Structure 1
Amino acid sequence: MAAIETAPLPLPPSADLSKFVDFGREVKGVNPGTLTPEQFKEIERLLYKHSALLFRNVDLTPEQQYALTKAFDPTAENYGHGNNKTEGTKKSILHPDLKTIPRQPQVQLIGNGTVYNHEGLAEAKLKHPSHTTFHKTRVSEEDEAKGITRFYRWHIDAALYDLSPPKVTTLYGIEVPQGPRQVCRYDDGTGEELEVPLGTTAFVSGKTMFAILPPELKSLAVRSKVKYAPHPYVWMAPARAKPTGLGIESDSLELPLSELPPWEESKIKVLPLLWKNPVTGDLHFEVHPCGALELLVDPLPEGAKREGALHPDGAHITDLQTVRDLLYKMQRPAIAPSLVYPHDWHEKDLVLFHNRGVLHSVVGAFKSDQVRAFHQCNLAASDDPVGPDADDVKKWA
């Protein structure tokens, strides 16, 4: 059997190389659509160790993509948001972005423009999500014409209600329009910006997000859980996001819980802020800030230093603005330009990412006549993520 080779990802000049020592690998010498069980085991280990894997010049059918994705979680069956994708409602903010491959419904066609005769779809009108419809403020049309853009929404692929967050997402580029690079502005008063390839997918490491926190925020993170809203994508649909794409502005625009599709308390997700990597044991800060409703903080363990600690006796934080401000304070440092990997897509690129180890965002804007077609697959997991254990709490709290 030929050895699986790896090489570092092509990091941009903006990247702080010291923070990308373990993050991301290009995998060579193996076809991801036809892996032997031994090869898959090695790919699985590499993915959990490095968070994102890139394969170039891959020919991959929807069936092969589904099989590869499922191999990471063999008892998983449904697409990550459920096989009707959006809880049977047209109100969800995800609704316009997804089209299903008829013979392999767990694989979604995403992109931009109109695609004809594609894998059993006679015609599919695709729309690249744009910050102009989701953020509270927007880049001016003049600036947009000059190639200024934003992160759309930093997120984890997950329904965040009823279904468990997928372990792995696979993204496969089929038609990739080329065009001038764009400048992604943060527009949050920091003056930060990041030069990006057209239509990049941007990734940040949840491991780094935790690692760079000061001790008092590490202590808070290791003791906290987030309670998500029921049907969060319907709940948040009327609200608008921050200019960094990292969470929602608190303008009380969310749908009242009484107006959501029917929901059950038992299906609401309460998940740790930190998810434990099943291979490395590392803690990854994994919160979808847009869907967060409340924070539950455990008290400090016995013997922990109380001086300077936040919520030393524990807390149940239900004020939405407070919840969002606290999460933003913890998550914003990790999306700094030097910590973002913006993937430069080429046709037949396949990217696998550890959906429980990274956050990612769609970036950029296409014109309506620029055709882009990708296949995306993730599966609602067979279990919820595991949080910090007693030793982790003792170490970081």
Structure 2
Amino acid sequence: MSTFTVCLNPLPKSSVCQVDFGTELSGLDLENLSDMDFGILHKALYENQVVVIKNQKSLSPHAQYELTRRFDPSAGIYSHGKSIDKRSVLHADLTTIPHQPQVQVIGSGSVDEYEGLVKLKLKHPHHKAFHKHPISAEDDAEFTHFYRWHIDSAMYNLDPPLITSLLAVQVPQGRRQTLCYDDGTNTELDVPLGTTAFFSGYRLYEMLTDEEKYFVRTSKIEYAPHPYIWMSKAKSRSNGLGIVSEGLELSMDGLPQFEDSKIKIYPMAWKNPVTGKLAMMVYPTCVRKIHLENGEVLDDLVEIRERLYSLQRRAIDPQFVYPHDWKEGDLVLFNNHGVMHSIVGSFKEDEVRVFRQCNMAASRPPMGPGDSLPAQ
């Protein structure tokens, strides 16, 4: 059994910082993780939502897969399936490791060889291709946006992974950017280059009024079929929290063939399987309808998006956002049913970034408010 030490993650500290999640664990042999140590890791993740384990650069893709799958032993297929349609907005962002197809290589820049892949041209998602009002080209090196606040998931046919693991293999250091919300609030946030930003769905739920909590607890979200194709022509808000409503979504007739039985309808509030706490977890980019407690179905996208935005916007105020400052060898695991996250930043051509991402479609849908906790 390894020596296991739990300490608070070095989160940004200021007089207004209210980030209440995240921890750093040390003393783990992840290639040979005992059941006892995994039990501690499992508990730490669901109590802290984001877990950082440093100095894991030598972790093999297979060990990363096995560690990630251990949180959901019945899972096995990558979260978006065996292949991603070329029309999907995700298609250019992911490269599958041939000998471990549940693990993807993501990043930026040219890489001669990595894990059996040769002459890689990694493309970091840049908000200029997705936002209605991107940062100007002349200011791109200094300023940036949240790219897209999201839950890792296909949101059609397959259920959202329970957790995601991210490993930093190569990270350019030394440069920071000013993140501009550009949403009429004059809000800015100083961030490390290429940070991954997180906010807590549990904190968001706690910030709601009693009336808002009731709405969230009793309503369900219907996501669009093939959502990343459906919204491929639409543009995002500048703070990455949902779509600008311009009627650019594809019609149902314009989508690949889909089955109604595979359309996902999830609760707006997801229950933590260890603590029982509720998180407001809604992926605003992919939302198509809201199902109310009384059976009414809301389908006006403009009204739906404004209503969700009024609920979720408070969660991305700077004091509630944790922007991880990546170092090579950082392994970050996060509760994909409890926190939302966003890619951030823009890299220069000579700034090479190599990450490995692993998540798998869950063996069960998210737990709703009325679901019983599993036996521990």
From 28, 40, 45, give the equivalent of 1:47: 45
| Partner SS state of residue 135, structure 2 | coil
Paired amino acid for 1:75: S
1:75 corresponds in structure 2 to 74
Paired amino acid for 1:168: I
| Partner SS state of residue 233, structure 1 | helix
Does 1:28 find its partner at 2:26? yes
| Residue 193 of structure 1: how far off its partner (Å) | 0.9
2:300 corresponds in structure 1 to 319
1:237 corresponds in structure 2 to 232
**Could you report, residue by residue, the CA deviation over 1:277-319 in whole angstroms, capped at 9, with x for unpaired residues?**
00000001111110000001104xxxxxxxxxxxxxx631110
The separation in 1 between residues aligned to 2:344 and 2:371, in whole angstroms, is: 38
Please, what TM-score do these two structures have when normalized by structure 1? 0.91
Paired amino acid for 2:86: K
Structure 1 residues 38, 390: closer, same or farther in 2, change over 3 A?
closer
Q: Is the 8 A contact 2:271 2:368 kept in 1?
A: yes
| Partner SS state of residue 140, structure 2 | helix
Q: Is the 8 A contact 1:112 1:127 kept in 2?
A: yes
Q: Is the 8 A contact 2:42 2:71 kept in 1?
A: yes
From 88, 99, 102, give the equivalent of 2:98: 102
1:307 corresponds in structure 2 to none
Q: Which runs of 5+ in 2 are unaligned?
A: none
Paired amino acid for 1:224: S
Q: Is the 8 A contact 1:163 1:381 kept in 2?
A: yes
The separation in 2 between residues aligned to 1:360 and 1:227, in whole angstroms, is: 21
Q: Is the 8 A contact 1:15 1:340 kept in 2?
A: no
Does 1:152 find its partner at 2:147? yes
Greater mean deviation of Cα atoms: 29-38 or 58-67: 29-38
Q: Is the 8 A contact 1:16 1:339 kept in 2?
A: no
1:247 corresponds in structure 2 to 242
Task: Percent identity, please.
Answer: 50
1:111 corresponds in structure 2 to 107
Q: Is the 8 A contact 2:19 2:322 kept in 1?
A: no
2:123 corresponds in structure 1 to 127
**Could you report, residue by residue, the CA deviation over 1:137-192 in whole angstroms, capped at 9, with x for unpaired residues?**
111223223x1100000000000000010000000000001132111000000011
Q: Is the 8 A contact 1:15 1:339 kept in 2?
A: no
Q: Is the 8 A contact 1:14 1:194 kept in 2?
A: no
1:311 corresponds in structure 2 to none
Q: How many residues of Structure 1 are paired with residues of Structure 2 in the alignment?
A: 372
Does 1:359 find its partner at 2:358? no
Deviation >2 Å, runs of 4+: 13-19, 31-34
| Partner SS state of residue 76, structure 1 | coil
| Residue 34 of structure 1: how far off its partner (Å) | 2.2
| Residue 3 of structure 1: how far off its partner (Å) | 3.8
Q: Is the 8 A contact 2:2 2:37 kept in 1?
A: no
1:263 corresponds in structure 2 to 258
Does 1:375 find its partner at 2:356? yes
RMSD: 1.5
| Partner SS state of residue 199, structure 1 | coil
Q: Is the 8 A contact 2:18 2:319 kept in 1?
A: no
